[in-house]
Copies of this chain bind each other. A is one copy, B any other.
Amino acid sequence: MREYNFGGGMPDPESFPVEGLLDAAQEVLPELGRTLVGYPDPRGYSELRDVMVKRFHRKNGVTLPIERFALTCGSMQAINLVTQYFVQPGDTVVTEEYTYSGTLGCLRRYGANIVGVPTDDDGMNMDMLEEKLRDLQGQNIKPKFIYTIASNQNPTGTNMSVPRRERLISLAREYELLIVEDDCYADLHFEGDPPPPCIYKLADFSNVIYIGSFSKILGPGVRLGYVSASEELLTQILSLKIDGGTSNLAAYIVGRFLKNKLWEHLETVNRIIKAKRDAVMEVLAHYSPEAFEWWTRPTGGLFIWIKLPDKTDTPRLWKMLDERGVRLAPGRAFHSQGQEVPFLRIAFGYPTLADIHEGVGVIAECVQKSCTV
């Protein structure tokens, strides 16, 4: 049976730089290979951290010292360290109403109460955030942090506007809350204005933990992400990174590749995923409004968020999709409370254009078949 994989937030496999990584390995291993008999720097290989410094400068106009960046095993390890450090069972964490399933799983593993804040095309609704914070304060509850994916959000694909970013920062200050900004998708940008400067920068690097990743521009299989924060916060969360350091073998190769090719590689990746997004848009429109009520039109990232008709029998739909070889994530995977909701997320980085044309059609057919009369 043909498979259609719209499931994970994976980049395009055809543009994965196998040759580029091999060239990098051939350059860097004779030079540094023997140092693999030693432990990595506790904050990770410097050449790769220098790539982050330069990237951050190019996107946000500020050169941070290299010590402010620490490598992690993907962004997931950074999210885990932050959660382990700050969250005890019963503690509260605020997130967007729909957010990254990996973060939700981690928060739940540590027993967090998750409070979701509704979003629209401009990101988290700040009036509603303020209301939630006031309510929580009334109950004497101080959230441990506000977790946000402000740029090219997962799963909705939206960007938080600058005024909202600023209001988020001012609310966090008013309520003395930490912000955890997951900026994993900011480099995937293929249309119109780039996402606004990150919250970390807008907040003048204070009380924000900034998390990034090379998983989305290269691949999750390399397991390289990073975290940046004030020295105090970074020291706190790294005190729980008891893993002997992040793989230098992976970091040497990826570091050398990105040092030479980051911007060139991003151009390639973004050109390809734009074409894929366009293809999904086209098929969605074709089957609208019967199968798809509305959807987001991302200008970056890897995800399209789709509203299904309310009359969709969603459990039946997921089963049907599975039987038809369609892999995708149901809306509830991203819902802060895990509710069954008439939404689905299409991750469009991995499938081919042909998969998209055919597969999104299969989804449409299944949605229509699973609508109750």
Contact = CB atoms under 8 A, between A and B. Distances in A.
Interface of A: 8, 10-14, 16, 18, 21-22, 25-26, 29-30, 33-40, 72-77, 79-80, 83-84, 102, 105-106, 109, 215, 218-224, 239-240, 242-250, 253-254, 349-350
Given A37-B350, A38-B350, 7 more contacts: A12-B37, A21-B249, A74-B243, A75-B244, A106-B242, A221-B249, A247-B250
B16 A37 contact: yes
28 contacts: A8-B38, A16-B33, A21-B29, A21-B33, A36-B220, A36-B222, A37-B350, A38-B221, A73-B73, A73-B245, A73-B246, A73-B247, A75-B244, A76-B244, A77-B242, A77-B244, A80-B243, A83-B242, A106-B242, A109-B240, A220-B245, A221-B247, A222-B247, A222-B248, A223-B243, A223-B248, A247-B250, A249-B250
Contacts of A10: 37-38
B248 A76 contact: no
Contacts of A247: 73, 221-224, 247, 249-250
Contacts of A254: 249
Nearest to A35: B221
Greatest chain B CB density within 10 A among A102, A106, A222, A249 is at: A249
Contact of A40 (B12, B221, B243): B221
Contacts of A239: 109
Contact of A39 (B39, B220, B242): B220
A253 to B, nearest CB: 7
A248 B249 CA distance: 11
A105 B42 CA distance: 15
A105 B242 contact: yes
Nearest to A36: B221
Contacts of A83: 242
A361 B77 CA distance: 44
Contacts of A249: 21, 221-223, 247, 249-250, 253-254
Contact of A13 (B37, B40, B215): B37
Contacts of A35: 13, 221
B25 A22 contact: yes
A337 B222 CA distance: 39
Nearest to A248: B221
A247 B11 CA distance: 17
